[in-house]
Amino acid sequence: MNLSQFPHLPNSVKIVEVGPRDGLQNEATIVDSKVKVELINRLSAAGFSNIEAASFVSPKWVPQMATSAQVMNSITRRAGVIYSALVPNKQGMEAALAAGVDEVVIFGSASEAFSEKNINCSIKESILRYRDVAVLAKANNIRLRGSISCSFGCPYQGAISPESVAVIVRQFRDLGCDEMDIADTIGVGTPRQVQTVMQHVMNEFPVSGLAGHFHDTYGQALANIYASLEIGISVFHSSVAGLGGCPYAKGASGNVATEDVIYMMQGLGIATGIDLNKLVDAGQFISRHLGRKSVSRAGNALASKFLT
Ligand code: HMG
Ligand code: MG
């Protein structure tokens, strides 16, 4: 067998830890801000260079994120770590600036129906709204990231064409995004579909700035990450202990568990800069606090080894 015929995988990848935001935003019981701070500090100590720590959205829409300013003001800032936050409008941007975030995330959708449900406006209106955010980000030298929900399917509309994902990516690119997340909000995508959508998107945005954001509802996320690696994607989002879901995507489960992703990357010889033992500890910490078992297979397997 000639191994050289197999695709070349990157030597290193960036893993963006989204648990404190995407993970916790869906928790019905309000998590104390001290616990969120402890989680973020444990994650930065584990070696993440980018942590999605907060969300400056309306507290009427997502009550769990109401303490975002307090969280941002209380974490121990590690040098070199980018602490990101979602912002839905100018009001959120002003709050994010006051809290000293390093990167703001504007979030749109490839699905018209999801845009209305999630941010209460059409796709076209969202672009106009985000223009104000983008101007403020550039004026303040803050990194701007774009996130495109429902890139592989929508809970309200069903199928989404790769062409419609590329159209919104182009519009977000023109706002000045430095990085672009292609999100499988409800975790329905499969590996070939992921490659097809990513290839459409690559015509609009440099591959080095594309990120795979895969929820694991149908158990496809690790396979989708591998399929993305094969075509040159090198940024992935994941959530410690597999926390999460989106409050506006009923039935969607959390992001792929970070512990599982790091375990796979280690096996592939791909550097992440993350200390897996410290990460497993962080996963067990938040799971204990939430009173349930982590959904990370690798995390639980490694934790049971430590305990024996
Ligand atoms: P709206 O109700 O149309 O907003 O919501 P509005 O401008 O009419 O304002 C209504 C009230 O909200 C006002 O307060 C505003 O001050 C307040 P009132 O006068 O009634 O007391 N308000 C705010 N408060 C704090 N911060 C703000 C803010 N904006 C308005 N930034 C809005 C529109 C966009 C605000 C709302 O729909 C919203 O906050 N949506 C966010 C929903 C959300 O966070 N969803 C989850 C995150 S997205 C996600 O998880 C997907 C992702 O992971 C990728 C993937 O997996 O697909 C990123
Ligand atoms: Mg998400």
Per residue in 61-84, pLDDT (tens digit) is: 999 999 999 999 999 999 999 999
Dist CA 40 CA 57 (whole Å): 19
Q: Can you read off the two tokens belonging to residue 222?
A: 């690790």
Strand pairing report for 179-184 and 14-17? unpaired
pLDDT at 3 over 70: no
How far, in Å, are 100, 152, 155, 167 from residue 188 at the CA level?
A: 35, 7, 10, 21
Per residue in 133-160, pLDDT (tens digit) is: 999 999 999 999 999 999 999 999 999 9
Domains of the chain plus CATH, in order, are 10-306 (3.20.20.70)
Looking at the CA of 147, which ligand is closest? Answer: 1
Alpha helices by DSSP H, the chain:
33-45, 68-74, 90-98, 112-119, 123-139, 162-174, 191-202, 221-230, 258-268, 276-290, 297-307
* Residue recorded with tokens 């303040």: 140
Which atom of ligand 1 is the closest one to the Cα of 92? 31
Dist CA 149 CA 129 (whole Å): 17
Q: Can you read off the two tokens belonging to residue 133?
A: 């955010």
Give the pLDDT score at 8: 87
Per residue in 250-287, pLDDT (tens digit) is: 778 899 999 999 999 999 999 999 999 999 999 999 99
Per residue in 167-208, pLDDT (tens digit) is: 999 999 999 999 999 999 999 999 999 999 999 999 999 999
Per residue in 209-255, pLDDT (tens digit) is: 999 999 999 999 999 999 999 999 999 999 999 998 667 777 788 99
Looking at the CA of 62, which ligand is closest? Answer: 1
CB distance 180 to 145 below 8 Å: yes
Separation of CA 91 and ligand 1 centre (Å): 9
Which atom of ligand 1 is the closest one to the Cα of 107? 58
Q: Which helix (H) or strand (E) holds 56?
A: none
pLDDT at 2 over 90: no
CB distance 134 to 144 below 8 Å: yes
Separation of CA 229 and ligand 1 centre (Å): 33
Nearest 10 degrees: Cα torsion 93, 95, 99, 104: -20
Average pLDDT, the chain: 96
Q: Is 53 exposed, middle or buried (0-12, 13-18, 19+ CB in 10 A)?
A: buried
Q: Determine the average pLDDT of the residues in 84-99.
A: 98
Confidence of residue 1 (pLDDT cuts 50, 70, 90): low
Dist CA 23 CA 238 (whole Å): 9
Termini Cα distance of the chain: 41
- DSSP 3-state of 269: coil
Pocket test for ligand 1, best of 55, 57, 117, 152 (most atoms within 8 A of CB): 57
How far, in Å, are 85, 140, 194 from residue 104 at the CA level?
A: 5, 11, 25
Give the pLDDT score at 158: 97
Length of the chain: 308
Which atom of ligand 1 is the closest one to the Cα of 62? 44
**Choosing from 150, 154, 177, 246, which is the catalytic residue?**
246
Pocket test for ligand 1, best of 58, 121, 154 (most atoms within 8 A of CB): 58
Which atom of ligand 1 is the closest one to the Cα of 150? 57
User: Of all protein residues, whose CA lies closest to atom 25 belonging to ligand 1?
Assistant: 58
Ligand 1 site residues, Cβ closer than 6 angstroms: 22, 25, 55-58, 60-62, 86, 88-89, 91-92, 95, 107, 118-120, 147, 149, 183, 185, 213, 215, 246-248
Count of CB atoms situated within 10 Å of the CB of 34: 12
Confidence of residue 6 (pLDDT cuts 50, 70, 90): low
Separation of CA 86 and ligand 1 centre (Å): 10
Separation of CA 281 and ligand 1 centre (Å): 33
Give the pLDDT score at 34: 98
Per residue in 93-130, pLDDT (tens digit) is: 999 999 999 999 999 999 999 999 999 999 999 999 99
Q: Is the dihedral of CA 209, 69, 108, 132 positive or negative?
A: negative
Give the pLDDT score at 306: 74
Which atom of ligand 1 is the closest one to the Cα of 105? 58
Dist CA 277 CA 188 (whole Å): 30
Give the pLDDT score at 178: 98
Give the pLDDT score at 252: 80
Separation of CA 23 and ligand 2 centre (Å): 8
**Known catalytic membership, residue 246:** yes
Dist CA 18 CA 20 (whole Å): 6
